[in-house]
Amino acid sequence: MKRNATDFLALEMNEIREAGREWIHRTLEGASDTVCKVEGKNVVMLCSNNYLGLSNHPKMKEAAIEAVKTHGVGSGSVRAIAGNMDLHEKWEKRLAKFKEQEAGFITSSGFAANQGVIQQLAPTADDIILSDRLNHGSIIDGVRTTKAKRAVYEHCDMASLEAEISKLAKGDPRRVLVISDGVFSMDGDYAPLDEIYKICEPYSNAIIYIDDAHGDGVLGKNYSGKGLVDHFGLQGKVHIEMGTFSKSFGTMGGSIVGSKELVTWCRNKTRSYLLSGSHPPATAAASIKALDIIENEEPTLVKSLWDKISFFKERIIEMGYNHELTSASGTAIIPIIFGDPHKAKEASNLLYSEYNIFALPILFPMVPRGLDRIRVQMNAALSQEQLEEALRAFEELGNKLKIF
């Protein structure tokens, strides 16, 4: 057969299929909500990032519709040229106020924020980067685009961070960038930010960068939803708080908050921002509304998420899904460990086909071998009835698959 330049596409896909790693995309035929229509079937959604139920919230939709009427559907350009709308500026100011920081900066996605900002923070071989072993792939990709010397420290292991930072700092680096997920997306545990701060404090050139994609809208003092920095009361001490609107806030868009200087610098240096069109006005307006809802209009929303997390997690552990990772999760991500890829897959298939529950499996290599799981993600909008229904399903499943 005559080979052509793109033969590798089919070959690589065969390899992926044979390894059982092809992503089969299920189709949502309607909104992402507590109950979603997935390929003709109504199922309770247990694996979306929509922690506060905002992605189909009536007030969010109203705000988006209003913005379409006044501002159209597209921005027409990148922010720096002709795509800087008043709604974008309002969005950044609203976010800064919510996060109690001087200024905010929005990028097209969280991925673009990590990739674009990390690339500029420590670009040269005179810089060093220290990154938690379980940091998100977008951080890893950002780090890969720099020439910085780098080390991976063990997951949330402060002795490991301390050892790596003191070793690398001996080379008298120009900048020391310490990066951690706030909340770790597979296990739902969170970084010991107070300790990271203490370790970094003696280094005058150490910059702390926290990716709070799964902490925003979830963590924070008195159920503020302001994230991990607020949880530890470290405002003004963590240099860069990164986040995304694609999870708790129900829309889309990466974010950076910090000093005015930081934001002005980001606006001028971040290539993934400068070279990419700005958000549609509807996204900006709905995002502003999300913060209004959390902070002012529905101040009990975050608390209601936590009530559901506690209820679900307690019951799931009690019934026998008592892996240490399940107990160690401290957020809306609740890993239910099956320990075997076939069992985790079978469990997910049964949940979907017999119990009308949508909860996809997460398997090796996305998680370590033997920690294959279903990652439940809680949603404040789930009703007590839906939670009970899900728990009944997990209990029957555990018995059927001889998990306990």
Whose Cβ is closer to ligand PLP: residue 112's or residue 374's? 112
Report if residue 246 touches ligand PLP, rule: CB under 6 A: yes
Size, binding site for ligand PLP by CB under 6 A: 14
Confirm whether 185 is a catalytic residue: yes
105 forms beta bridges with 256
Whose Cβ is closer to ligand PLP: residue 189's or residue 340's? 189
Report if residue 109 touches ligand PLP, rule: CB under 6 A: yes
Confirm whether 276 is a catalytic residue: no
Q: How far is the CB of 115 from ligand PLP (least distance, A)?
A: 9
Strand intervals (E) in 240-342 = 240-244, 254-258, 333-337
Considering only residues 213, 288, 344, 371, which one is a binding residue for ligand PLP as defined by CB under 6 A? 213
The token duo for 190 is 């969170």
Out of 57, 88, 136, 214, the active site residue is 214
Q: How far is the CB of 35 from ligand PLP (least distance, A)?
A: 23
181-210 footprint of ligand PLP as x/- string (CB under 6 A): x---x-------------------------
Confirm whether 214 is a catalytic residue: yes
Report if residue 34 touches ligand PLP, rule: CB under 6 A: no
Q: How far is the CB of 184 from ligand PLP (least distance, A)?
A: 8
Containing H/E element for 90?
helix 86-98
Q: Are 312 and 334 in contact (CB under 8 A)?
A: yes
Q: Are 319 and 171 in contact (CB under 8 A)?
A: no
The token duo for 245 is 């609107």
268/176 Cα distance (integer angstroms): 21
Collect all residues with Cβ–Cβ distance below 8 Å to 198 and sequence separation of at least 6.
none
118/129 Cα distance (integer angstroms): 9
Considering only residues 215, 217, 250, 254, which one is a binding residue for ligand PLP as defined by CB under 6 A? 254
81 class by beta-carbon count within 10 Å (0-12 exposed, 13-18 middle, 19+ buried):
exposed
Whose Cβ is closer to ligand PLP: residue 64's or residue 134's? 134
In this structure, which amino acid lies at residue 106? I
Cis ω for the linkage preceding 368 (within 30 of 0): no
Considering only residues 138, 251, 287, 331, which one is a binding residue for ligand PLP as defined by CB under 6 A? 138
Out of 57, 136, 231, 247, the active site residue is 247
State the catalytic residues: 185, 214, 247
Query: What residues make contact with ligand PLP under the rule CB under 6 A?
Result: 109-111, 114, 136, 138, 181, 185, 211, 213-214, 244, 246, 254
